[in-house]
Amino acid sequence: MFANQNKTPLFDALKEYYKKQVIPFDVPGHKHGKGLKEFAEFVGDKVLEIDVNSMKCLDNISNPIGVIKEAEDLAAEAYWADHAFFIVNGTTAAVQGMIMSVCEPGDKIILPRNAHKSAINGLILSGAEPVYIQPEINYELGIAMGVSLEEVEKAIVRNSDAKAIFIINPTYYGATSDIKEIVKLAHQYGIAVIVDEAHGAHFSFHEELPPEAIELGADMCAVSLHKTGGSLTQSSLLLLKEGLIDPKKVKTVLNLTQTTSASYLLMSSIDVARKMLAVHGDKILTKVLKLSRYAREEINKIDGLYAFGKELIGSPGVFDFDETKLSINVSGLGLTGFEVYDILRDEYNIQMELGDVFNILAIISVGDTKESIDSLIESLKDISKKYKKQKITFNKGPILKNPEVIISPRDAFYSRKKVVKLEEAEGEISGESIMAYPPGIPIVTPGERISKEIIDYIKFLKNQHSLLQGTEDPYVENIKVLGV
């Protein structure tokens, strides 16, 4: 990478502040941990001594001109972008910032329906009108993949006045779309390409990983550095290539929703994680890939399990594949992914990223070791011996199809609503989102017609004790629909 990537200007400034032992008469009120002793005793005094507020020597995220700006510029350089913005409200804020930077009320945006709830909420905030494209579906695995270039082209030709196209790179399960050709096509129509790269923060730093979207010409990317890059939870980056999108507008939009009291713990972790990836990423990610490949090889020897990977490249919706997503189809065990997820957590003390009807997912990242991988492999071997029964099959394909959009998410959000029993909501227009989290992809969103398949699927997820959210009713017995 570049010589100056060894620098950590924000982290260095924070350490210098710590050395000075400043007497604080500003916020936060715990005053270097003295007012929160029980917590300080658990996490360590130093953590709270560097939990500070904006000041001249530490710059300000709302208008960075000092060490935050230096750190952001280094991040931009590391990711081959023209600008980088530190995000401390999670990648949700970055995704919403992207949409609000390119779309005004009534503008069209093309996006796959398997987008994260943050994108749907971005439609509500911006007033943009969604044009959904159907992601490719692997019915054997029971998951949505990326989008095909053909589907993207159809959507663009029919909606050439769209302001942006929103792409996921990669999907939760590791599939990527043909970003380079999508960018080429969209730019012919003057359409910006914005990318949810929440699970691709590591892509830029190893040649055996899929390319990062900014390198392929995308205009803006939201990158969850905390997910796969090693920074603290809730810390992310928004990357921008100049051209179709004004960086000054992006800054203004981010300041609408992002906190003015940004955590220096979060921001300095971005600074250090960026340095680690830029300087040592090739070595670190070589190890990560070695662990991922070893895990796949061993898991695929276990009766009833299929850890899918790069062999899917070339199938519909899989232009490339991120091997660090250890996706395991468990239907051959005669169990659902929800069940295996719970068994691993409750009986083996192993926390997976998610479980769905057919699969479980482990994220292999910069912090994993062979010991942790071996624990997972041995636990899965034991589960196969103890629990395997007849292969399970579900006909849940229809739920992966795009629901019918009746009105925009924003109009539905602000419309008058009534509460009905979930079982009685067939044919109604939803006034709320419902999703299993993780992964946080809505089953139904405001403005969409509620079908029998949707109701049946939600009831199935409830029976599987999946973590559902989005409705005002915490138990999802009722749902708000449009009407009085």
pLDDT at residue 413 tops 90: yes
CA distance 149 to 62: 38
Distance of CA 296 to the CA centre of its chain: 23
Q: Say what percent of the chain tops pLDDT 70.
A: 97
CA distance 314 to 394: 25
Residues 379 and 413 in one domain: no
298-334 pLDDT, tens digit each? 999 999 999 999 999 999 999 999 999 999 999 999 9
Q: List, in sequence order, the alpha helices (H) in 127-219.
A: 149-158, 179-188
**Domain containing residue 312:** 282-387
Average pLDDT for residues 356-383, to the nearest whole number?
96
- CA dist 78 → 1, 6, 13, 247 (Å): 7, 11, 20, 18
Residues 379 and 414 in one domain: no
Look at residue 397 in the predicted model and tell me its pLDDT. 44
Final residue in a domain of this structure, among 387, 411, 445: 387
Which distant-in-sequence residues (6+ apart) come within 8 Å of 484 by Cβ?
A: 416, 418
pLDDT at residue 193 tops 90: yes
pLDDT at residue 484 tops 80: no
Strands across the sheet containing 359-363: 306-308, 325-329, 359-363, 354-355
Average pLDDT for residues 239-262, to the nearest whole number?
96
CATH (domain of 478): 3.90.100.10
Residues 361 and 436 in one domain: no
Look at residue 464 in the predicted model and tell me its pLDDT. 79
Look at residue 442 in the predicted model and tell me its pLDDT. 85
43-60 pLDDT, tens digit each? 999 999 999 999 999 999
432-461 pLDDT, tens digit each? 999 887 777 888 999 999 999 899 889 888
The residues with which 469 forms a beta bridge, in sequence order, are: 435
- In a domain, residue 156? The reply is no
Torsion (CA) 19, 22, 23, 27 in degrees, nearest 10: -110
Final residue in a domain of this structure, among 325, 360, 387: 387
Residues 374 and 422 in one domain: no
Residues 473 and 409 in one domain: yes
pLDDT at residue 398 tops 60: no
- In a domain, residue 65? The reply is no
Look at residue 357 in the predicted model and tell me its pLDDT. 87
- In a domain, residue 233? The reply is no
Residues 357 and 295 in one domain: yes
Final residue in a domain of this structure, among 352, 387, 422: 387
Phi, psi of 198 (to 5 degrees): -55, -35
Tally the domains of the chain: 2
- CA dist 329 → 10, 25, 151, 400, 455 (Å): 43, 55, 27, 17, 25
- In a domain, residue 133? The reply is no
Residues 380 and 418 in one domain: no
Average pLDDT for residues 270-279, to the nearest whole number?
98
pLDDT at residue 124 tops 60: yes
Look at residue 287 in the predicted model and tell me its pLDDT. 97
- In a domain, residue 361? The reply is yes
Within 13 Å of residue 259, how many CA atoms lie on the same side as its CB?
A: 15
The pair of structure tokens assigned to 144 is: 């949505």
Other Cβ atoms within 10 Å of 6 Cβ, number: 11
Residues 368 and 419 in one domain: no
Residues 412 and 338 in one domain: no
Distance of CA 60 to the CA centre of its chain: 26
- In a domain, residue 189? The reply is no
Distance of CA 111 to the CA centre of its chain: 15
- In a domain, residue 158? The reply is no
pLDDT at residue 415 tops 60: yes
Other Cβ atoms within 10 Å of 471 Cβ, number: 22
Confidence of residue 394 (pLDDT cuts 50, 70, 90): low
105-115 pLDDT, tens digit each? 999 999 998 88
pLDDT at residue 179 tops 50: yes
The pair of structure tokens assigned to 348 is: 């083996």
Average pLDDT for residues 119-127, to the nearest whole number?
95
Residues 286 and 348 in one domain: yes
Q: Between these two residues, 484 and 89, which has the higher pLDDT value?
A: 89
- In a domain, residue 135? The reply is no
CA distance 442 to 286: 34
CATH (domain of 315): 3.90.1150.150
The pair of structure tokens assigned to 92 is: 């949700």
Residues 375 and 428 in one domain: no
Residues 378 and 460 in one domain: no
Tokens 């081959």: give the residue: 80
